[in-house]
A and B are shown apart, each in its own frame.
Chain A
Amino acid sequence: GNSVTQMEGPVTLSEEAFLTINCTYTATGYPSLFWYVQYPGEGLQLLLKATKADDKGSNKGFEATYRKETTSFHLEKGSVQVSDSAVYFCALSEGGATNKLIFGTGTLLAVQP
């Protein structure tokens, strides 16, 4: 079945460092891809999404490009801030009537000042 694999955490970076969180997927058809973020004590929030191959999703300085050839959707940010400390979830949507999300395990990012 469809699945998402993302890099293990925690990832610890200093402020202004470059961030990459890897995400690869297995899917039949053409899923939509998402990154959700969970800040401490809060629910899951959509960070960015891409609905077809070569699309780039971006928000708050974060970017991810839908790469069909490598089945990847890696999250990047050029300069992280302490306020970016959170758990990041990669997910895919199968479409169809239900359009449910399938999540990766989440990656904890800790940014130190």
Chain B
Amino acid sequence: EPEVTQTPSHQVTQMGQEVILRCVPISNHLYFYWYRQILGQKVEFLVSFYNNEISEKSEIFDDQFSVERPDGSNFTLKIRSTKLEDSAMYFCASRTGGRTGELFFGEGSRLTVL
């Protein structure tokens, strides 16, 4: 069964360092998303991506964040200069088209900023 894969599963970094989280969405999917979940809090939308551009982003997704689909298969989230409050589980998701298309999620990448 096709699945969304994410790497790394866990990354520890120092404050101020750049981090890239990687995702391989399901191959025939058209819409891509990043969500995050700070420990004990709700899953929050960060950004959606369609047709090689950002279609929507939340207030959380400030200039420190960027997304890219560099090669038609990977979908990356970059945090330029990490802060302590960026520590969270980051989930990638993808879906086909259609109004009610199900989002398929990866297992998440846990980011710990020290």
Among B43, B101, B104, the residue within 8 A (CB) of A99 is B101
Q: Are B31 and A44 in contact (CB under 8 A)?
A: no
- Residues of chain A lying within 8 A (CB to CB) of residue B91: 43-44
Q: Mark B23-55, 1 if CB is under 8 A from A, else 0.
A: 000000001010100000111110010100001
Tell me, yes or no, whether A93 is within 8 Å of chain B by CB: yes
- Residues of chain B lying within 8 A (CB to CB) of residue A102: 45
Stretch at the interface among A12-20, A65-73, A103-111: A103-111
Q: Are A44 and B43 in contact (CB under 8 A)?
A: yes
The complex places the Cα of A44 from the Cα of B4 at a distance, in Å, of: 11
In angstroms, how far is the closest chain A Cβ from the Cβ of B109?
Answer: 10
Given known pairs A43-B4, A51-B100, the reply for A97 and B45 (CB within 8 Å) is: no
- Residues of chain A lying within 8 A (CB to CB) of residue B48: 98, 100
In angstroms, how far is the closest chain B Cβ from the Cβ of A57?
Answer: 11
- Residues of chain A lying within 8 A (CB to CB) of residue B105: 36, 43-45
**Residue count of chain B within 8 Å CB distance of chain A:** 27
Given known pairs A99-B95, A105-B42, the reply for A49 and B4 (CB within 8 Å) is: no
Among B35, B42, B43, B100, the residue within 8 A (CB) of A49 is B100
Q: Are B56 and A101 in contact (CB under 8 A)?
A: no
The complex places the Cα of A51 from the Cα of B41 at a distance, in Å, of: 26
Given known pairs A49-B100, A99-B95, A101-B45, the reply for A43 and B107 (CB within 8 Å) is: yes
Give B contacts to A, CB under 8 Å.
4, 6, 31, 33, 35, 41-45, 48, 50, 55-56, 91, 93, 95, 99-108
Instruction: Please name 14 pairs of A and B residues whose Cβ atoms are closer than 8 Å in the assembled complex, sorted by A.
Output: A32-B99, A36-B105, A43-B105, A43-B106, A43-B108, A44-B105, A46-B102, A46-B104, A91-B43, A95-B99, A100-B33, A103-B35, A104-B42, A106-B42
